[in-house]
Amino acid sequence: MREKTVGRSLRLLAPKDRRKLGLVVAIQIFLSGLDLFGVALIGVVSALAITGVSGQVTGNRVGAVLEFMHLDSYTFETQVAILGATAGVTLIGRTLLSIFFIRKSLFFLAHKAAIISGDLTSRVLAQPILQMQKRTSQETLYALTGGVSTLILGILGTTVMLASDLSLVLVMAVGLLIVDPGTAIGSFIYFTLIAFLLYRLSSTRVRKLNEAIVETSISGNEQIIEVLTNYRESIVRNRRAYYARKFAKNRLDLSKFSAENSFIPNISKYVLESSVVIGALLLSATQFVTQDARHAVATLAIFLTAGTRVAPATLRIQQGFLKIKGASGSVDLTLNLAKEVEGFSIAVDTDPALALGNHEDFSAAISFTDVSFAYPESKVQILSQATFKISPGEFVAFVGSSGAGKSTLVDLLLGVLLPDNGKITISGKLPSNAIEGSPGAIAYVPQDVAIAIGTVRENIALGFPEEFATDERINNALKIAHLESFVLSLENKADTQVGERGTKLSGGQRQRLGIARAMFTNPKLLVLDEATSSLDAETEASVSAAIQSLRGGTTILMIAHRLATVRSADQVIYIDRGQILAKGSFTEVRAAVPDFDRQANLLGL
C-alpha cells in the first residue's frame, strides 16, 4: 500500500518534476558519503590519541590516512587538531547541506502542490454535474486542499527525507562492515529489529487514526454548515442545543484521535533512545573484553560517532514510514478524485471582454429533437422524446406540475446534463460548444440564487475581473432587475457588503441581484428557473415588465408556476411526467390540457 501510494503520488508530478526530485535524492545519497568520511576521521583521531599517549607506533590504517592527507611529517598535536577540525567541518557541513537541499525540495513540492490543486480544481469543474454530486462539498473541498498538501508534502516530502536517511544508514553500514564486520552486523540487526517491531506495532493504528481524523473533521464541518444554513429552523424547532452538543462530541472524538496520533511517534523516540544506551554499553563491554585498548577505543569511537548519526536517522526513518502509512489513510479522496478527472481537459479561460460584447455571431435559436434522459441507476425517464424549436427573440414558458421534468430540461439545454438520446442545439451547435464559442451570450437565473461574500458590485460581476465591473455596466444590470433605487439608497451604493449568502438582503432582493448578474453580460438567451418566485406581486410585475422589454432582442425561456407571468408568452410548452403534452399559445395549451385550464380558471385567468 505504501509503495502504491507513493507511486500514485509521483504520477501527479510532471516527468521533469520527477527528474528534479530524483536529482535531489541523488545529491542526498552523495552527501551520506561525507558522513562516512567524517566518522572515519573520528576513528583515526581516537586511535592516534591512544598511540600518542601510550607512546606506541601508529597502525597501518592510521599511517595510510596520515600519509594520504600529507600529515605524517607534523607533530602529534597538530595531526589530532587538523583531523579533528576536518571531521567536525565535514559532519557539520553535511548537516547544513542536507538542510539546504531538504528545504529546497519542500518549497519545490509546496509550489507543485499549489499547481496540482489548481489543475485538479479546473478538471473537477469540467466534470458533469452528476459526477460531482457523488461527493459531498466537504469531501471535494478536502480532496482539493488538505488532501493535495498531505499527498505532495506529507508523502513525497517525507519520501525525499527518507531517501536521505536510508542512504546514510546504508553507507554507514558499509563503512562499519569494513572496520569491524562482526560488530557492524550485530549492531545492524539490533537496531533494524527494534525499528521494524516499532513500525509493525504502530503502522496499522496510525493509518486508522488518520482515516478517523479526516472523516471526523469532514463530518464536523458538515454539521456546522448544516446548522448555519438552517439557523432559523433550528430556532423554531428549538434544536440549537442539540447541534451544539453534537458538534462538541465530534470535536471531543477528534481531539482523542489527534492526541493519540501525536503521541505515537514519542514511543519510538524513547524506545530508540534507550536502545542506543543499551547498545553502547554492550559494545563497550564486548570491545574491551575481546580487543586491546587501542583497537577497542578506536572501534568504540567510530561506532559511537556513527551512532550519533545513525540513531536519529533510524528514528526519522521509522517515523517517516509511519507518517506515510498514516497519510495514505487520509489521501484516498484526493487520489480517487485525481483518477476520476484524468480524462477531463482543463477549461481554457476566455477573454472577459468577449463575454461582455454584443454577441453578434450568436443566434438564440434552440432545437430539441427526440431528446430523452434518465438519471443513472434509474429506469424512470425524466424526459422522453422531447421535440420542439424556439426561434430567436421568442418568449417561451415551460409549465407543468412539480417533478414534471422542467428543470431537467433546462439542465439539458444548458449542457449541465447530457441527453441519453436525441440532439440539442443552440445557435446550430451543441450547448457546450455554443457556450464556449459565445461566452456571455447565454445567461441563467436559478430559483435559489447563490450570493457570494462581497459587495453588490462583486456579486453582479461574479467571475469577472474587477476592472470590468464599471459603474455603467453595473447600473444597466440593476435597472433591468429593478434594484437600482434600493442600491442607490445604500451608504456605499454598489460597493455595499451583502453578507454571507446575502444575509443583509431580503429574499426578493437576492433574487433580483441574481437577475442583475444574468443581465451583466447582455445575453441573447435568458433562462429563468422560477426566477420571480421570491418576489412580491408588485416587484414581480415590474421585473416581468423589464423582462418583457427584452423581447425581440433576447430569447427568453422561463419556468413558472405562476401562470399570470406566462400569459403573454409566444409559446407555452406543457410538460407532464417527462413528456410534452402540448405546445402553442397560452389559449391553445389551455384547450389541449384540462389540468392546465383548471389551474387557470382557479386563478381567474
Q: Report d(CA 519, CA 508) in Å as an integer.
A: 17
Residue 75 exposed, middle or buried by CB count within 10 Å (0-12, 13-18, 19+): exposed
Name the more confident of 196 and 280.
Answer: 196
Query: Does 81 have pLDDT greater than 90?
Result: no
What mean pLDDT comes out for the span 99-114? 87
8 Å CB contact between 356 and 469? no
C-alpha cell of residue 292: 586491546
Find residue 575's DSSP bridge partners. 580
Which amino acid, 217? S
Name the more confident of 226 and 487.
Answer: 487
C-alpha cell of residue 531: 426566477
Answer positive or negative: Cα dihedral of 449, 455, 460, 464: negative
What confidence category does residue 50 fall into, taking pLDDT thresholds of 50, 70 and 90? low
List of domains in the chain? 2-340 (1.20.1560.10), 362-441+557-605 (3.40.50.300)
Q: List phi, psi (to 5°) of 230.
A: -110, 40
What pLDDT is recorded for position 306? 66
Q: Report d(CA 535, CA 443) in Å as an integer.
A: 20
3-class secondary-structure state, position 504 = coil
Q: Report d(CA 558, CA 546) in Å as an integer.
A: 14
Q: Which residues contact 220 (CB under 8 A, 6 or more apart)?
A: 247, 250, 251, 254
> What's the chain's average pLDDT?
81
Alpha-carbon dihedral angle through residues 435, 381, 137, 424, given to the nearest 10 degrees? 0
Rg over alpha carbons for the chain, rounded to the nearest Å, is 36
Residue 584 exposed, middle or buried by CB count within 10 Å (0-12, 13-18, 19+): middle
With CA atoms as reference, report the closest residue to 502 among 512, 510, 490. Answer: 510
Highest mean pLDDT among 305-309, 313-317, 467-471: 467-471
C-alpha cell of residue 429: 451547435
Query: Does 191 have pLDDT greater than 90?
Result: no
CA distances from 397 to 183, 541, 546 (A): 89, 16, 16
Q: List phi, psi (to 5°) of 490.
A: -80, 150
What pLDDT is recorded for position 61? 66
Alpha-carbon dihedral angle through residues 36, 193, 160, 265, given to the nearest 10 degrees? -120
Q: Report d(CA 160, CA 323) in Å as an integer.
A: 13
What confidence category does residue 1 fall into, taking pLDDT thresholds of 50, 70 and 90? very low
Among 165-179, 283-297, 451-465, 487-501, name the one with the lowest average pLDDT. 283-297
Residue 429 DSSP class: B
Q: Report d(CA 578, CA 419) in Å as an integer.
A: 13
Highest mean pLDDT among 21-35, 135-149, 279-293, 361-375: 361-375
Residue 495 exposed, middle or buried by CB count within 10 Å (0-12, 13-18, 19+): middle
* Residue 587: CB atoms within 10 Å: 12
Which amino acid, 439? P
What pLDDT is recorded for position 60? 65
What confidence category does residue 526 fall into, taking pLDDT thresholds of 50, 70 and 90? very high
What mean pLDDT comes out for the span 470-489? 89
The predicted-structure confidence for 303-312, as pLDDT tens digits, reads as follows 666 666 777 7
What pLDDT is recorded for position 555? 92
The predicted-structure confidence for 240-260, as pLDDT tens digits, reads as follows 777 788 888 888 888 888 888
Q: Report d(CA 135, CA 354) in Å as an integer.
A: 34
What mean pLDDT comes out for the span 57-85? 75
What mean pLDDT comes out for the span 217-235? 76
C-alpha cell of residue 19: 527528474
Say what the pTM is: 0.71
C-alpha cell of residue 80: 589530532
Q: Report d(CA 21, CA 13) in Å as an integer.
A: 10
What confidence category does residue 91 fall into, taking pLDDT thresholds of 50, 70 and 90? confident
With CA atoms as reference, report the closest residue to 517 among 491, 498, 537, 490. Answer: 498
8 Å CB contact between 442 and 426? yes
8 Å CB contact between 575 and 405? yes
Residue 573 DSSP class: E
C-alpha cell of residue 462: 461574479
CA distances from 78 to 43, 48, 57, 84, 90 (A): 16, 11, 17, 10, 18
What pLDDT is recorded for position 501? 77
Q: Report d(CA 168, CA 42) in Å as an integer.
A: 17
Query: Does 57 have pLDDT greater than 70?
Result: no
The predicted-structure confidence for 561-575, as pLDDT tens digits, reads as follows 777 778 888 999 999
3-class secondary-structure state, position 210 = helix
Cell 451583466 belongs to which residue? 520
Query: Does 300 have pLDDT greater than 70?
Result: no
Q: Which residues contact 272 (CB under 8 A, 6 or more apart)?
A: 194, 195, 198, 311, 314, 315, 318
